[in-house]
Chains A and B, each alone.
Chain A
């Protein structure tokens, strides 16, 4: 079973700064199987990125994804206050699927 490890655990930044979230898989995974989610307090998760780098419908261009093999990154180019949330990565082939443990973003 593939394990996803996200880092850092918490990211504390200021508005306008760039945020980078990392997710490392325990073994090589296909790029089309990788996604990122945003979960704000008290809400259901929202799909941000799928297929490693494709933004979901309605997601602002400041969100981007990249990576391959075992290392994947979510970047928020210029932080806005409403980006405060926990960000999760997801790997899914088949299914079954696996989530990372999440990175909390503080602004």
Chain B
């Protein structure tokens, strides 16, 4: 079965960077895209970006361009989200989520457990 396991909670200072990871198992890692979605406390879902593990191609939400870097390691198999120049508004739970199918690009269907990032 598809399983996405994410890294643990992080506490960072404003201005710092954070890297969180998402390790995939139970399917062909290179065959499906992976999304990152975050949720600030008490608020809704914000789509952040998407990566194709096979090509390394990424799509990043416009408001986060320049601060977000997505990478994938096909050997581990793990995807990474680096968020730079942290501000308090980045405090959120960060989810990775696999695409539903190879043809449903950017449609999150299988979710990780979430990783709490706190900026203070």
- Measured CB to CB, the residues of A under 8 A from B are 1, 35, 37, 39, 44-47, 50, 56, 86, 88, 90, 92-102
Contact = CB atoms under 8 A, between A and B. Distances in A.
Interface stretch (B16-24, B39-47, B84-92): B39-47
A35 B113 contact: no
* Chain B interface mostly: strand
Interface in B71-120: 95, 97, 100, 104-109, 111-114
Majority DSSP secondary structure for residues of A touching B: strand
B44 A101 contact: yes
Contacts, number: 70
A39 B108 CA distance: 13
Contacts of A100: 44
A25 B37 CA distance: 20
Contact of B35 (A50, A86, A88, A97): A97
B59 A88 contact: no
Contacts of B62: 1, 96
Contacts of A101: 44
B116 to A, nearest CB: 12
Given A56-B100, A56-B109, A99-B47, A44 B35 contact: no
